Amino acid sequence: MRQLLALAASDLRMRIRDRSVLIFALVVPLALMFVFNLVFGNTDDIEIEPVTVAVSAPAGDDLAAVVGEVLRSLDGMDGLDVTVRETTADDGRRQVEDGDAALAVLVPEGFGEAARTGDAVTVEAVRGDEAGLEADVVLSAVDGVLDQLGTGAVTARAGLAEGIPPDQLAALAEQATAGGPAYELRQGEASDEQLDAGASLVAGQAGLFLLFTVSFGVTSLLVDRETGTLARLRSMPIPAWTIVGSKALVSFVLGVVSTSVLLLAGSFFFDADFGSPPAVALLVVCVVAAATSVMFLIARVARTSEQAGIATSIVAVVLGIGGGAFFPVSATGRFAPLLDLNPVAALLRGLGTTSGGGGVADLGVPIAIMLGFAATTWVLSRLVPDRGALA
Amino acid sequence: MTTVPSAHDVLVVDSLVRRFGDLTAVDGVSFRIAPGETYGLLGPNGAGKTTTISMIAGLIAADSGTVKVAGQRMTPATTEPRRHLGLVPQELAIYPELSARENLTLFGRLQGLSGKALSARVEEVLELIGLADRAKSLSKEYSGGMKRRLNIGIGLLHQPTLLILDEPTVGVDPQSRNQILESVEALSADGMAVLYTTHYMEEAERLCDRIGIIDTGRLQAEGTRDELIRLTGGVDTIRLSGSGDLAAAAERLRALEGVERVEADRRTATLTVRDAPVLVASVVGTVAGSGVTLADVEISRPDLESVFLHLTGKALRD
């Protein structure tokens, strides 16, 4: 064990002096995080501008008035700042053309009567060229109101077809309009296993570059072989596993440190909240174990450090993209569950759980996936004929 | 070839065979090295020297045959005999991102040294290989010769019973090469057994007490330099050129004691003789007495190159 630690300590010292590991493990992923955050990261922080809506509704039409009331009720809801100006249809159009209003909602004469009797009627919405997302939100609300009123119209038409007297149709239509849907849709947590966009980018990049970071151990084993140092090490009175073990230990330490630093940096720079530190630490240890196990396999099949570098890149990109390092990935079909067995995906899933308040006890599935992946890959590395560093 | 191992031999190699597919890289090689002896394994590139060394150092398994280091069987699975062995690979087996002191300390620890004993030995070796004043510099900043010396220093750090040097002077400038050869001579004088592989016959002649000539995986001959040279018949050559009739002088030259054969024309003569340095004065006097004015006299004595040519029919550097 003393010899294993001596080898690992020297290897770590060389990796740090070499600086390439610092670049691959920290600088590049951090830089990518900043770039991706610039490109995608502000989708959570959209600024809602105040919006002015010109509404033209015929006087005395109580259903037409509902449209204006609904728009007024949007003011202050979810950060919306809505100003409703009652006006005529022509003036409403002019205000939009002049840019005084973002949107004009023009309710025609006879709207209420048509809604009650089920006749067709058109509400005109004029959207300004420079209207932003706010106008679309308001427009959606108007659409919703009209849908509900349309329900009343359909009810009235159905009643007429069934021979209900016209004097009862209006009451029936109002009842249908006023009544809520038969089901209730309540807004809840998106999912307790999903990170927000910023945190997902941080975790994804940490997972992707972890695979490059741990590859330094196996690459150094192959470089040792190419330089003759491995022959010298193997001529010494130490068990053969000590050499491989020291490289694996170096990979593991580098992986744990780099992933932890990246997650911490992500929390600091991008306000990513990954939740319980012990739970996150457990996830980091498990995903690094899984990534290191891949390197055992690569060490078994790669003959040169160049081959190992190429194999590592392929594995990193496949597992990284498949795991959602750049964007969420979902698949259908018979092999879709394989995506879930990806350690990077498991890391993101686990961090989603911890960020939603989950603790160590809630991480059974992602940890099982990561450790299962590590065990499977390690067994595979034992079964594959050795044509690599120790052949 | 048979060897008679002594109970005290540091290395006993017996009938080693190693095949790579259809190629038999090492084919029944046997030899032994006594304590304090420097044994040279001389052969061209691809002769099987490095494969033989790899089996001796326990890096690869032999298909058949055995290796014993300090009386203990060496295989890729054994650890104990490795304590007696110091390997200096042909490549620069050092860590360029570590200094000389850090390299020596690391490999010393792996050899089981520790504490003050390790520190003291590291300083001794730094002095021995002439790197004490550059001990803190990263070895990637060293010259080729300095790296070679560090490469050797690591091999002898733990004072092994047997030091294996695999072509340690390949790609080294003449000055560093001479330093390396002097170091090996010093180690041998201190009683360390050395197995030295090379394809430079002058190194083998200078350093080795006994030499094994290896080609196509087989040990073609083994013995001291003189023993090997005797295999060629042990005759020297004197070549003469000049003005006058050398052909006419040939008869008088054939009459000299020790001259075995003379081939001559008017301007040149080639004599095959027993001991050229002793005979050359008589030869020159005889030719001058025949009215020939000599322009050039050249003596050739058989060397290991001649031995290799004699044994294999090809030159050592082919």
User: Which pLDDT does position B291 carry in this prediction?
Assistant: 85
- B309 versus B289: the higher-pLDDT residue is B289
Is residue A391 situated within a structural domain?
no
Most confident option among A72-81, A380-389, B202-211: B202-211
- Euclidean distance between CA atoms B204 and B169, whole angstroms: 12
Chain B hits for A228, Cβ within 8 Å: 89-93
Q: Give the range of the structural domain holding residue A81, as residue numbers without chain letter.
A: 51-178
Among A43, A181, A176, A72, smallest CA distance to A115 is for A176
Chain A hits for B83, Cβ within 8 Å: 237
Residue recorded with tokens 């997302």: A133
Q: Is the pLDDT of residue B26 over 90?
A: yes
Is residue A185 situated within a structural domain?
no
Nearest residue, CB atoms, B79 vs list A6, A7, A239? A239
User: Which pLDDT does position A178 carry in this prediction?
Assistant: 55
User: Which pLDDT does position B51 carry in this prediction?
Assistant: 92
Helix H or strand E encompassing B194:
strand B193-198
The runs of H, that is alpha helices, within B111-173 are 115-128, 144-156
Whether B94 contacts chain A with CB within 8 A: yes
Q: Are residues A156 and A235 in the same domain?
A: no
Q: Is the pLDDT of residue A146 over 90?
A: no
**Chains A and B: how many Cβ contacts under 8 Å?**
73
Q: Is the pLDDT of residue A41 over 90?
A: no
pLDDT confidence of A59, banded at 50, 70, 90? confident
| Mean pLDDT for the stretch of residues B192-201 | 88
Q: Are residues A227 and A171 in the same domain?
A: no
- Euclidean distance between CA atoms A249 and A99, whole angstroms: 65
Q: Is the pLDDT of residue A361 over 50?
A: yes
Is residue A309 situated within a structural domain?
yes
Q: Is the pLDDT of residue B228 over 80?
A: yes
> Is B87 in contact with A231 (Cβ distance < 8 A)?
yes
> Is B109 in contact with A3 (Cβ distance < 8 A)?
yes
- Euclidean distance between CA atoms A207 and A321, whole angstroms: 10
Give the pTM.
0.69
Percent of chain B with pLDDT over 90: 31
User: Which pLDDT does position B164 carry in this prediction?
Assistant: 92
Contact B266, B307 (CB under 8 A): no
Among B50, B92, B110, smallest CA distance to A227 is for B92
Chain A hits for B93, Cβ within 8 Å: 227-229, 231-232
Backbone φ and ψ for B14, nearest 5 degrees, come out as: -130, 110
Q: Is the pLDDT of residue B3 over 50?
A: no
User: Which pLDDT does position B2 carry in this prediction?
Assistant: 40
Q: Is the pLDDT of residue A265 over 90?
A: no
Which of A134, A154, A178 corresponds to the end of one domain? A178
User: Which pLDDT does position A371 carry in this prediction?
Assistant: 93
Q: Is the pLDDT of residue A117 over 80?
A: no
- Euclidean distance between CA atoms A294 and A311, whole angstroms: 10
Chain B hits for A245, Cβ within 8 Å: none
Range of lowest pLDDT (A39-53, A124-138, A212-226, B36-50): A39-53
CA dihedral A234, A238, A243, A244 (to 10 degrees): 110
Is residue A78 situated within a structural domain?
yes
Classify residue A125 by burial, with Cβ atoms within 10 Å: 0-12, 13-18, 19+.
Answer: middle
pLDDT tens, position by position, B29-47: 999 999 889 999 988 888 8
Q: Are residues A338 and A359 in the same domain?
A: yes
> Is A237 in contact with B154 (Cβ distance < 8 A)?
no
Round the CA-based radius of gyration of chain A to a whole number and report it. Answer: 31
Looking at every residue in chain B, the average pLDDT score rounds to: 87
Q: Work out the minimum CA distance from B124 to partner chain A, whole angstroms.
A: 20
Range of lowest pLDDT (A90-104, B223-237, B260-274): B223-237
Strands B11-20, B162-166: pairing is unpaired
Q: Are residues A209 and A86 in the same domain?
A: no
Helix H or strand E encompassing B297:
strand B293-300
Beta-bridge partner residues of B86: B163
Is residue A327 situated within a structural domain?
yes
Q: Is the pLDDT of residue A275 over 80?
A: yes
Chain B hits for A235, Cβ within 8 Å: 57-59, 82, 85, 87
Strands B162-166, B268-273: pairing is unpaired
Q: Are residues A120 and A231 in the same domain?
A: no
User: Which of B79, B84, B85, B106 to mutate: most A Cβ within 10 Å?
Assistant: B106
Q: Is the pLDDT of residue A381 over 80?
A: yes
Q: Is the pLDDT of residue A86 over 80?
A: yes
Q: Are residues A162 and A250 in the same domain?
A: no
Q: Work out the minimum CA distance from B167 to partner chain A, whole angstroms.
A: 13
* Residue A71, domain CATH: 3.40.190
Task: Pull the structure tokens for residue B247.
Answer: 């052909």
Among B27, B43, B41, B40, smallest CA distance to B312 is for B43
pLDDT tens, position by position, B140-168: 998 888 888 899 899 988 889 999 998 88
| A→B interface, C-beta within 8 Å | 2-3, 6-7, 10, 13-14, 17-18, 227-229, 231-240
**Exposed e or buried b per residue across A348-371, where buried means at least 16 C-beta atoms within 10 angstroms of its C-beta:** bbbbbbbbbebeeebbeebbebbb
Nearest residue, CB atoms, B106 vs list A2, A6, A227? A6
Among A289, A286, A214, A288, smallest CA distance to A247 is for A214
User: Which pLDDT does position B119 carry in this prediction?
Assistant: 93
Q: Is the pLDDT of residue B56 over 90?
A: yes
User: Which pLDDT does position B1 carry in this prediction?
Assistant: 41
Is residue A188 situated within a structural domain?
no
User: Which pLDDT does position B16 carry in this prediction?
Assistant: 93
User: Which pLDDT does position B131 carry in this prediction?
Assistant: 87
Q: Are residues A277 and A374 in the same domain?
A: yes
Q: Are residues A172 and A202 in the same domain?
A: no
User: Which pLDDT does position B7 carry in this prediction?
Assistant: 58
Is residue A186 situated within a structural domain?
no
| Mean pLDDT for the stretch of residues B50-61 | 91
Contact A208, A316 (CB under 8 A): yes
| Mean pLDDT for the stretch of residues A308-322 | 82
pLDDT confidence of A188, banded at 50, 70, 90? very low
Q: Are residues A154 and A214 in the same domain?
A: no
User: Which pLDDT does position A182 carry in this prediction?
Assistant: 42
| Mean pLDDT for the stretch of residues B245-273 | 87
Q: Are residues A377 and A350 in the same domain?
A: yes
> Is A18 in contact with B80 (Cβ distance < 8 A)?
no
CA dihedral B222, B226, B232, B235 (to 10 degrees): 180
- Euclidean distance between CA atoms B89 and A228, whole angstroms: 6
> Which residue type, as a one-letter code, is found at position B291?
G
Which of A151, A178, A205 corresponds to the end of one domain? A178
| Mean pLDDT for the stretch of residues B208-222 | 90
Instruction: Give the number of domains in chain A.
Output: 2
User: Which pLDDT does position A192 carry in this prediction?
Assistant: 47
Nearest residue, CB atoms, A231 vs list B80, B93, B107? B93
> Is A18 in contact with B97 (Cβ distance < 8 A)?
yes
Looking at every residue in chain A, the average pLDDT score rounds to: 79
- A237 versus B235: the higher-pLDDT residue is A237
Q: Are residues A24 and A64 in the same domain?
A: no
Q: What is the ipTM of this complex?
A: 0.78
> Is B58 in contact with A234 (Cβ distance < 8 A)?
yes
Q: Is the pLDDT of residue A184 over 50?
A: no
Q: How far is CA A64 from CA A67, A102, A117, in A?
A: 6, 20, 14
Three-state DSSP class for residue A100: coil
Is residue A187 situated within a structural domain?
no
Q: Are residues A19 and A107 in the same domain?
A: no
Q: Work out the minimum CA distance from B87 to partner chain A, whole angstroms.
A: 6
Q: Work out the minimum CA distance from A18 to partner chain B, whole angstroms.
A: 7
- A38 versus B99: the higher-pLDDT residue is B99
Which of A122, A153, A178 corresponds to the end of one domain? A178
Range of lowest pLDDT (A169-173, A198-202, B139-143, B161-165): A169-173
